[in-house]
Amino acid sequence: MNDTQLSPGRRVGRRVGRLIGRVLQGIQPPEAMPQLLPRAEEDAAVMDCALYVRGSRQPGRPAFAEAFAAARRRRNGFVWLGLFEPSWSQFTAIAETVGADEATVDQTLDAERRPAIQRRGDVTVLTLRTARYVEHAELTETSEVVDTGAVTLLIGAHFVVSVRHGGAGALADVREGLQRRPSLLAQGPWAVGYAVIERMVEVYHDVATRVEQDVEKLEETAFRRQGGCDVQQIYQLKRELVEFKRAVLPLQAPLRLMTDIASELPTGLRQPFTDVLGRLNQVVERVGTYNELLDSILQARLAQVGLDQNNDMRKIAAWAAMAAVPTAVAGVYGMNFDHMPGTSWRWGFGVAVLVMTAGMLVLYRLFRKSRWL
């Protein structure tokens, strides 16, 4: 049926349909369109990728698969891939390249995982908690003092894959510092693991020092008579310190395990790992001391608040007792009896006021002597 045999309404509908069909013919299906956005996301997740041979970085920034293949062809070569919050699909592809299983992928992408070290086949999974001190003008009940994140290292014979979550713990400085130490870098992939742990422990020391300053300021203001700190401020700093402690304390077990199996580490890294464990123990001791000090400050402040409340109650009771004297006298003389002493006397009102005042003054002297006022 041609268009002339149709009603006007159907002719318009057919023309609109043809127009839509022509437009659709000019559009490529989704699978034929270039995947620009995922590629951009992948590039954003890759912080750096480098091939190292005998402690020296090779020129360029190759793709990970190419660099990993080149590293496997060299006896003293390995590749270090740095990622920041990669997507699940992107990291799965990388894990398949290095031979990591699905459980390793899940653990690596878990941003809340505790510090741990685990061996899965030919891949060692090392998880660390990162930390940084958050600058603040003054400590309040909502101040953020310590910001934490996570870094997971996948270490193999010819590769290191670092995955970072959170704003703390950037590894660009670690990479630059390690590249300036070729003798250390020549120890292989575990040199990266040591350098990352060393930097984390250094940051822990810095954060502990800054937190110590906050604790000292809080201790100075906790017992002031005027303008002292609130209990909420002490509790907030204690919460932030507990978060920092969760990042530092669990790392002791993985480092002890690494020192116990030092024979499996490169010879040049056995003593450095022992030294970094000693420095970590110092941070743990400092954090424990600050935590105990905050407990003491909190308990003392609570006791002081209770004492201040008792003092306030005693003052209120003292003023109420003094106010009861004129109330009692006025209440008695307000009963309107016919025969009340002094009601018909010319100086009766003045004497009643004098009795009220004298009674209040006597009570005031007694309360002042007993330090209720």
Asked if residue 21 has pLDDT above 50, the reply is no
CATH superfamily of 36-306: CorA soluble domain-like (3.30.460.20)
Asked if residue 209 has pLDDT above 90, the reply is yes
Residue-wise pLDDT for 66-102, tens only, equals 999 999 998 889 999 999 999 999 999 999 999 999 9
| pLDDT confidence of residue 29 | 41
Asked if residue 32 has pLDDT above 70, the reply is no
| pLDDT confidence of residue 258 | 81
Q: Which helix (H) or strand (E) holds 65?
A: helix 64-72
* C-alpha 359, offset from chain centre: 61
Question: To the nearest whole number, what is the mean pLDDT of the chain?
Answer: 82
Q: Work out the pLDDT band at 228, boundaries 50, 70, 90.
A: low
Report the half-sphere exposure of 46 (CA within 13 A, side-chain side): 18
The residue that leads in pLDDT, 350 or 103, is: 103
| pLDDT confidence of residue 361 | 87
- The one-letter amino acid code at 130 reads T
| pLDDT confidence of residue 337 | 63
| pLDDT confidence of residue 84 | 94
Helix (H, G, I), strand (E, B) or coil at 185: helix
Instruction: Express as a percent the part of the chain with pLDDT over 70.
Output: 81
Question: How much is the average pLDDT of 195-215?
Answer: 94
- The one-letter amino acid code at 247 reads A
**Whole-model pTM over 0.75:** no
- The tokens of 177 are what? 């510092």
Residue-wise pLDDT for 162-204, tens only, equals 999 998 888 999 999 999 999 999 999 999 999 999 999 999 9
The answer to whether 123 touches 154, Cβ cutoff 8 Å, is: yes
Asked if residue 225 has pLDDT above 90, the reply is no
The answer to whether 244 touches 148, Cβ cutoff 8 Å, is: yes
Pairing mode, strands 46-53 and 146-155: unpaired
Asked if residue 1 has pLDDT above 80, the reply is no
- The tokens of 59 are what? 């020129």
Q: Work out the pLDDT band at 347, boundaries 50, 70, 90.
A: confident
DSSP 229: P
Q: Work out the pLDDT band at 57, boundaries 50, 70, 90.
A: very high
| pLDDT confidence of residue 31 | 36
Asked if residue 45 has pLDDT above 90, the reply is no
| pLDDT confidence of residue 91 | 92
Nearest residue to 78 (alpha-carbon basis) of 199, 193, 196: 193
DSSP 347: T
- Bridge partners of 154, per DSSP, are 125, 161
